[in-house]
Protein backbone atom coordinates (compact mmCIF):
# COMPACT_ATOMS: atom_id res chain seq x y z
CA UNK A 1 0.00 0.00 0.00
CA UNK A 2 0.88 3.65 -0.18
CA UNK A 3 3.20 4.84 2.58
CA UNK A 4 3.24 8.36 3.99
CA UNK A 5 6.02 8.82 6.49
CA UNK A 6 6.68 11.98 8.47
CA UNK A 7 9.78 13.03 10.31
CA UNK A 8 10.70 13.74 12.96
CA UNK A 9 7.99 11.95 14.95
CA UNK A 10 8.51 14.26 17.93
CA UNK A 11 10.03 17.70 18.19
CA UNK A 12 10.56 20.05 21.11
CA UNK A 13 11.49 23.66 20.39
CA UNK A 14 12.18 26.75 22.36
CA UNK A 15 9.90 29.64 21.47
CA UNK A 16 11.37 31.63 18.60
CA UNK A 17 13.18 28.70 16.98
CA UNK A 18 12.69 27.57 13.40
CA UNK A 19 11.92 24.03 12.26
CA UNK A 20 11.41 21.90 9.18
CA UNK A 21 8.97 19.00 9.08
CA UNK A 22 9.18 16.43 6.32
CA UNK A 23 6.61 14.24 4.59
CA UNK A 24 7.76 11.41 2.33
CA UNK A 25 5.27 9.51 0.21
CA UNK A 26 5.58 6.40 -1.91
CA UNK A 27 3.05 7.29 -4.61
CA UNK A 28 2.86 10.08 -7.13
CA UNK A 29 1.05 13.05 -5.63
CA UNK A 30 -2.05 14.69 -7.00
CA UNK A 31 -3.39 16.60 -4.03
CA UNK A 32 -1.43 17.07 -0.81
CA UNK A 33 -2.48 18.94 2.28
CA UNK A 34 -0.77 19.93 5.52
CA UNK A 35 -2.82 20.13 8.71
CA UNK A 36 -2.25 21.20 12.27
CA UNK A 37 -4.22 19.29 14.89
CA UNK A 38 -4.49 21.44 17.99
CA UNK A 39 -4.57 19.99 21.53
CA UNK A 40 -8.39 19.86 21.39
CA UNK A 41 -8.35 17.68 18.29
CA UNK A 42 -9.41 20.21 15.69
CA UNK A 43 -7.69 19.83 12.34
CA UNK A 44 -6.75 23.14 10.80
CA UNK A 45 -5.92 23.41 7.11
CA UNK A 46 -2.48 24.89 6.60
CA UNK A 47 -1.69 24.31 2.95
CA UNK A 48 -3.15 22.63 -0.09
CA UNK A 49 0.02 22.10 -2.08
CA UNK A 50 0.37 19.33 -4.69
CA UNK A 51 3.50 21.04 -6.02
CA UNK A 52 5.59 24.18 -5.67
CA UNK A 53 5.93 26.51 -2.72
CA UNK A 54 3.39 28.47 -0.70
CA UNK A 55 3.76 30.83 2.22
CA UNK A 56 1.33 32.00 4.85
CA UNK A 57 2.81 34.21 7.54
CA UNK A 58 5.39 32.28 9.56
CA UNK A 59 4.59 29.05 7.76
CA UNK A 60 5.61 27.91 4.33
CA UNK A 61 5.48 24.62 2.48
CA UNK A 62 7.23 23.12 -0.49
CA UNK A 63 6.27 19.98 -2.39
CA UNK A 64 8.67 18.34 -4.82
CA UNK A 65 6.34 15.89 -6.50
CA UNK A 66 9.01 14.32 -8.70
CA UNK A 67 11.03 13.35 -5.61
CA UNK A 68 7.96 12.46 -3.56
CA UNK A 69 8.37 14.68 -0.56
CA UNK A 70 6.93 17.80 0.99
CA UNK A 71 8.39 20.12 3.61
CA UNK A 72 6.66 22.37 6.12
CA UNK A 73 8.69 25.24 7.53
CA UNK A 74 7.79 26.94 10.78
CA UNK A 75 9.70 30.10 11.59
CA UNK A 76 9.81 31.98 14.89
CA UNK A 77 7.76 29.28 16.57
CA UNK A 78 5.21 30.17 19.24
CA UNK A 79 3.62 28.10 21.99
CA UNK A 80 0.37 28.12 20.03
CA UNK A 81 2.14 26.14 17.28
CA UNK A 82 2.16 23.12 19.60
CA UNK A 83 0.16 20.12 18.46
CA UNK A 84 0.45 17.46 15.80
CA UNK A 85 1.22 18.21 12.17
CA UNK A 86 -0.08 15.84 9.52
CA UNK A 87 0.42 15.70 5.80
CA UNK A 88 -2.24 13.94 3.77
CA UNK A 89 -2.52 12.61 0.25
CA UNK A 90 -5.97 14.04 -0.12
CA UNK A 91 -6.96 12.15 -3.24
CA UNK A 92 -6.09 8.86 -1.55
CA UNK A 93 -7.48 9.93 1.83
CA UNK A 94 -4.28 8.79 3.49
CA UNK A 95 -2.75 10.63 6.41
CA UNK A 96 0.89 10.59 7.35
CA UNK A 97 2.23 9.35 10.67
CA UNK A 98 2.37 12.87 12.12
CA UNK A 99 4.94 15.07 13.85
CA UNK A 100 4.17 15.96 17.45
CA UNK A 101 5.50 19.45 18.16
CA UNK A 102 5.86 21.07 21.53
CA UNK A 103 7.02 24.67 21.76
CA UNK A 104 8.30 25.76 25.15
CA UNK A 105 7.95 29.31 26.45
Partner 1 sequence: GAVVSQHPSRVICKSGTSVKIECRSLDFQATTMFWYRQFPKKSLMLMATSNEGSKATYEQGVEKDKFLINHASLTLSTLTVTSAHPEDSSFYICSAASGSFDEQYFGPGTRLTVT
Q: Residues interacting with partner 1, by CB under 8 A?
A: 30-31, 33, 35, 40-45, 48, 86, 88, 90-91, 93-98, 100
CB 102 → partner 1: shortest distance, Å?
Answer: 13
69 vs 95, beta carbon nearer partner 1: 95
Q: How far apart are CA 56 and CA 4, in angstroms?
A: 24
Q: Which is nearer to partner 1, 40 or 105 (CB)?
A: 40
Residue 74: exposed, middle, or buried by beta-carbon count in 10 A (0-12, 13-18, 19+)?
buried
Amino acid sequence: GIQVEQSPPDLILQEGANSTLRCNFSDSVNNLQWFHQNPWGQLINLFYIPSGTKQNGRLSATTVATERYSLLYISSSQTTDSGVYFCSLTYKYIFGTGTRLKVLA
